[in-house]
Amino acid sequence: MKKKILIFDTTLRDGEQSPGMSMNVGEKLRVAEQLAKLQVDIIEAGFPASSEGDFESVKAVARSIRGPAIVGLARTGLKDIDRAWEAVKCAEKPTIHTFIATSDIHLKYKLNKSRKQVLEDTVRAVSHAKAYCPMVEFSAEDATRSDPDYLCQVFEAAIKAGATTINIPDTVGYSIPDEFASLIKYVRNNVPGIKGVTISVHCHNDLGLAVANSISAIKAGARQVECTINGIGERAGNTSMEEIVMAINTRKDIFKLTTNINTRHIYPASRLLSHITGIAVQPNKAIVGANAFAHEAGIHQDGLLKERQTYEIMTPESIGLPSHTLVMGKHSGRHAFRERLKSLGYDLSNDNMEKAFRRFKALADKKKQIYDEDLEAIVADEVLRIPERYKLVSINVTSGSETIPTATVQLEIDGKVIKDAGFGDGPVDAAYNTIAKITRTKSKLLRFSINAISKGTDAQGGVTVNLEEGGKTAIGQGAHTDIIVASAKAYINALNKMEYRKKRRRRGP
């Protein structure tokens, strides 16, 4: 049996289906580049038939990324499969992943199909995909609530039609570890031809058991795990990539298995995804949470100082977490700045490096100490942005207990500077009312959050907003030592994303 576990990362597909997690093409490419640095075996780049935007994103990833196999998801309809192939055909290792539900509850209420029809759809879809590319994955959606004998029958048909990987998903996070392991063993023992293909698992976290179920599946013979950075995904999320990888890496005595992952890129990948989506990692999140390597209890601190292994089963450095956070100051030069960004996982072009360096110097004049988190915020704020129709020129706000909050804002719109003023219930509300008036937009603010990016009273404030307009949502982010400026930048960033999506829809296919 193979000693290597394949890591199939679906951050760009299943992960992006999380509420508020949508990414544009440029953001998807940046995540895909980080996944390539992680050396994941497979990147599921999206669902090409779902939208023109997703098609273009998958195609861009397939064209640009080398190393991992690039996968396009498709239902069993032949048009879906054709679309997936068009998106991934320029990849170094193109792969089509087709799926259909096999549980009776899905057949009756969702598909309105018989078992025989689903079996026929499976064979037709896999055969059609196989005519395009040598690597084809077939998934039986809701496998854990399917009749095991029928499941085996479908998998046998898929293998005969040419599937090279069969995926056993716990689509609704229903299974528990012993039960899931038993299902894996049952499939291995009852599907003819199963030894010639890879058994994959895709677990959801509705009961908080996605990683545990994936581990049980590995011990039962599965050799591919489908997972996401930070465990993002629909509903409660998916198997966390960093948790499954570090469990295998840390407990080699139990698993006697390995992955191809360069674990030193785990932390930068986690931080990058958080910056792009605006969704912070919970502090007590395993592996990448802020408290994962923090020790406060006196007994723990004493033991740690004497021997790290007393309370640390892995080192921060093993996942790419810098052993120190204070790295730069106002006297630092371009070379040191570039090298520090590279160590954080950012390899920028000369133009983007220069933009980021100018922003760094401006920040260094305001702050005594520059932390890694500040540098990451600079990259996210200055480099990882879409084309801007709206640009903040200046903002001034007056507020207090004895005055009506007033904001005066100057924006550049399509090259023309427009100035106006407005009122609100507070300084941020006044700023947002004025920006909306100048841009003539009618977006609804769904979420507003603010966090100190680093330490100290002079820390940058990081603001994340979620706007909704016409049924579409957009996440905006901004960072600045002035909270009001950061708030305005986040709001304008979200408006620019809205505008960018409108233009893409107007252009059409």
Tell me, what's the pLDDT at 320?
86
Q: Return the domain boundaries, the chain.
A: 6-277, 322-382, 390-507
Tell me, what's the pLDDT at 180?
98
Tell me, what's the pLDDT at 191?
98
Tell me, what's the pLDDT at 506?
43
Residues 494, 238, 495, CA angle at the centre, nearest 5°? 5
| Burial bucket for residue 53 (CB in 10 Å: 0-12, 13-18, 19+) | middle
CA distances from 329 to 87, 370, 474, 483 (A): 45, 6, 34, 22
Average pLDDT over residues 413-423: 94
**Stretch among 124-138, 149-163, 269-283, 298-312 having the lowest mean pLDDT:** 298-312
Class of domain 6-277: alpha beta
Whole-model pTM over 0.75: yes
Residue 292 has which token pair? 């994962």
Which alpha helices (DSSP H) does 135-174 contain, by range? 148-161
Neighbouring CB atoms inside 10 A of 267's CB total 22
- 242-257 pLDDT tens trace: 999 999 999 999 999 9
- 295-354 pLDDT tens trace: 545 555 455 456 666 767 788 888 887 654 445 777 778 888 888 888 777 788 888 888
Q: Which residue has the higher pLDDT, 156 or 297?
A: 156
Average pLDDT over residues 373-402: 83
pLDDT at residue 382 greater than cutoff 80: no
Percent of all residues in the chain with a pLDDT value above 90, rounded to a whole number: 63
Tell me, what's the pLDDT at 504?
56
d(Cα 13, Cα 58) in Å, to the nearest integer? 9
Percent of all residues in the chain with a pLDDT value above 70, rounded to a whole number: 91
Tabulate helix, strand, coil % of the chain (nearest 5): 45, 25, 30
d(Cα 407, Cα 84) in Å, to the nearest integer? 49
Please state the length of the chain.
509
Which alpha helices (DSSP H) does 69-114 contain, by range? 78-88, 104-106
| DSSP state letter for 109 | I
Tell me, what's the pLDDT at 487?
95
Cα of 311 vs its chain's centroid, Å = 30
d(Cα 414, Cα 40) in Å, to the nearest integer? 41
Task: Provide the CATH number for the domain formed by 390-507 in this structure.
Answer: 3.30.160.270
User: DSSP strand E in 215-369: where?
Assistant: 224-227, 326-328
Q: What residues does 99 pair with on adjacent strands? A: 75, 139
| Burial bucket for residue 196 (CB in 10 Å: 0-12, 13-18, 19+) | exposed
Average pLDDT of the chain to the nearest whole number: 89
Q: What residues does 165 pair with on adjacent strands? A: 137, 198
Cα of 187 vs its chain's centroid, Å = 31
| Burial bucket for residue 220 (CB in 10 Å: 0-12, 13-18, 19+) | buried
CA distances from 445 to 97, 280, 495 (A): 37, 18, 11
pLDDT at residue 508 greater than cutoff 50: no
